[in-house]
């Protein structure tokens, strides 16, 4: 951990230059380097991801990686310099993303439409898995689940539908996009292609499955 007045240049996938100012330089155990200012978000102003090597010489740090990207830090004045050993860190546990929404929807297909019977989740195709496949009285429904439904989701589902409708076994297959948020452009493009959009409510779905579940 170094606090220093410095100037930084990055050359790699693009070029970037940071004028001289006082910043926080963090060197991690794996050799990666982060240049932070005292504001902004969690993203550093400049950085080099591991694996990389740091060479220090004449008040100039040069960090390189395999791909030939370089980060050069010219240090004018060091205001603080300290080292700490942190030890290993246990993993991070997450819960509540798309996989969870997909499971909840599979348990409550009535939210999508009446009379749907689950075939399976992650139904495999040569171009990737369909999130949820369900039968209805006539034909099949392919459901793509997204937290936020954008144009790319329409394209993705369109590819699945094109392919599934060539397989006579389960055709005809219609498409449904489900998500907590449906972007206007996505909705427009989807309806142009005969794809239905359903706006879901994550908390409500969770309530249906487990009425006792509450936030803390």
Partner DNA sequence: GCATCAATGTCGCCT
Partner DNA sequence: AGGCGACGTTGATGC
Site for a second copy contains 69 (CB under 8 A): no
Verify binding: residue 14, DNA, rule CB under 7 A: yes
Q: Which stretch binds DNA (CB under 7 A): 76-84, 109-117, 141-149, 200-208?
A: 141-149
Residue 14 Cα distances to 72, 203, 210, angstroms: 14, 42, 49
Identify what 135 binds: a second copy, DNA, none; CB under 5 to 8 Å per kind.
Answer: none
Asked whether position 193 contacts a second copy by CB under 8 A, the answer is no
Check binding of 213 to a second copy (CB under 8 A).
no
Q: What is the CB neighbour count within 10 angstroms for residue 48?
A: 25
Beta 33-36 vs 15-27: how paired, if at all? antiparallel
Contact with a second copy (CB under 8 A): which of 58, 66, 80, 210? 80
150 lies in the binding site for DNA (CB under 7 A): yes
Strand partners, 120: 133
Please report whether residue 41 would count as binding a second copy according to CB under 8 A. Answer: yes
Answer yes or no whether residue 140 interacts with DNA by CB under 7 A: no
Name the residue among 169, 166, 110 with its Cα closest to residue 143: 110
Residue in this structure with the two tokens 């359903």, named with its chain if needed:
198
| Pick 109 or 190: Cβ nearer DNA | 190
Identify the sign of the CA torsion 189, 192, 195, 201.
positive
Specify the residue, 89 or 137, whose C-beta has the smaller distance to DNA: 89
Instruction: Give me the phi and psi of 55, to 5 degrees please.
Output: -115, 125
Which helix (H) or strand (E) segment holds residue 209: the answer is: helix 202-209
The count of C-alpha atoms lying within 13 angstroms of the C-alpha of 176, restricted to the half-sphere facing its C-beta, is: 24
Q: Give contact residues for DNA (rule: CB under 7 A).
A: 10, 12-14, 16, 40-44, 46-49, 65, 69, 71, 92, 94, 97-99, 127-128, 146-148, 150-153, 156, 183-185
Q: Give contact residues for a second copy (rule: CB under 8 A).
A: 1, 3, 9, 11, 13-19, 21-24, 26, 28-30, 32, 34, 36-47, 49-50, 79-80, 82, 84-97, 127-128, 147, 152, 155, 185, 189, 215-216
């Amino acid at each position: 951990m170094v606090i220093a007045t410095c100037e930084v240049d990055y050359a790699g996938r693009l070029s970037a230059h940071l004028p001289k100012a006082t910043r926080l330089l963090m060197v991690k155990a794996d050799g990666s380097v982060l240049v932070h200012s005292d504001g902004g978000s969690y993203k550093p102003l400049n950085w080099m991801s591991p694996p990389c090597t740091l060479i220090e010489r004449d008040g100039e740090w040069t960090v390189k990686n395999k791909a030939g990207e370089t980060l050069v830090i010219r240090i004018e004045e060091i205001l603080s310099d300290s080292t700490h050993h942190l030890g290993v860190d246990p993993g991070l546990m997450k819960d509540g993303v798309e996989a969870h929404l997909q499971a909840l929807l599979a348990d409550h297909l009535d939210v999508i439409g009446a009379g749907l019977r689950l075939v399976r989740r992650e139904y495999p195709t040569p171009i990737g898995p369909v999130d949820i496949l369900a039968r209805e009285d006539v034909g099949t429904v392919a459901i793509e689940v997204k937290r936020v439904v954008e144009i790319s989701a329409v394209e993705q589902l369109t590819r699945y539908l094109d392919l599934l409708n060539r397989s006579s076994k389960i055709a005809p297959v219609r498409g449904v996009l489900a998500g907590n948020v449906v972007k206007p452009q996505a909705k427009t493009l989807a309806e142009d292609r005969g794809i239905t959009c359903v706006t879901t409510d994550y908390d409500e779905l969770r309530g249906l499955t487990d009425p006792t579940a509450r936030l803390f």
